[in-house]
Amino acid sequence: QKEVEQNSGPLSVPEGAIASLNCTYSDRGSQSFFWYRQYSGKSPELIMSIYSNGDKEDGRFTAQLNKASQYVSLLIRDSQPSDSATYLCAGATSGTYKYIFGTGTRLKVLA
């Protein structure tokens, strides 16, 4: 079974701090990775995608990918209470475009 694993949390950080969310994956064939944010009772919302090793920045969000270590992370700078949500990591294998999701990490940003 090809898996994507995340710590379920909750991860609590004070407002204004950097939140670091981590994800590991078992399928070396995975080529593309995605971070989704999901508020309670809502559907997932895409916030970042990353395909190459290294960092990718978009506003307060930075995604990091290390294919050798099979590790993906998401950094949220200047965390706000509105960032409190569950963050889902997903990987996709080339040719299938089927995402395998992790169980999600619940983030709490404390005001």
Partner 1 sequence: DTGVSQNPRHKITKRGQNVTFRCDPISEHNRLYWYRQTLGQGPEFLTYFQNEAQLEKSRLLSDRFSAERPKGSFSTLEIQRTEQGDSAMYLCASSLVGGGAAAYGYTFGSGTRLTVV
Applying CB under 8 A, the residues found at the interface with partner 1 are 4, 6, 8, 31-32, 34, 42-46, 49, 51, 88, 90, 92, 94, 96-104
Shortest distance, CB of residue 69 to partner 1, whole angstroms? 19
Q: Which is closer to partner 1, CB of 97 or CB of 111?
A: 97
Rounded to the nearest angstrom, the gap between the alpha carbon of residue 8 and the centroid of all alpha carbons in its chain is 12
Nearest to 88 by CA among 28, 52, 44, 29: 44
Q: Which is closer to partner 1, CB of 84 or CB of 99?
A: 99
Shortest distance, CB of residue 15 to partner 1, whole angstroms? 26
Note whether 64 and 73 are within 8 A (CB).
Answer: yes
Shortest distance, CB of residue 96 to partner 1, whole angstroms? 7
CA distances in angstroms from 16 to 33, 61, 109, listed in the order given: 26, 13, 9
Query: What residue type is assigned to position 4 of the chain?
Result: V
Token pair for residue 106?
């619940």
Instruction: Give the DSSP H or E segment for 88.
Output: strand 85-93
Shortest distance, CB of residue 78 to partner 1, whole angstroms? 24
Q: Which is closer to partner 1, CB of 15 or CB of 55?
A: 55
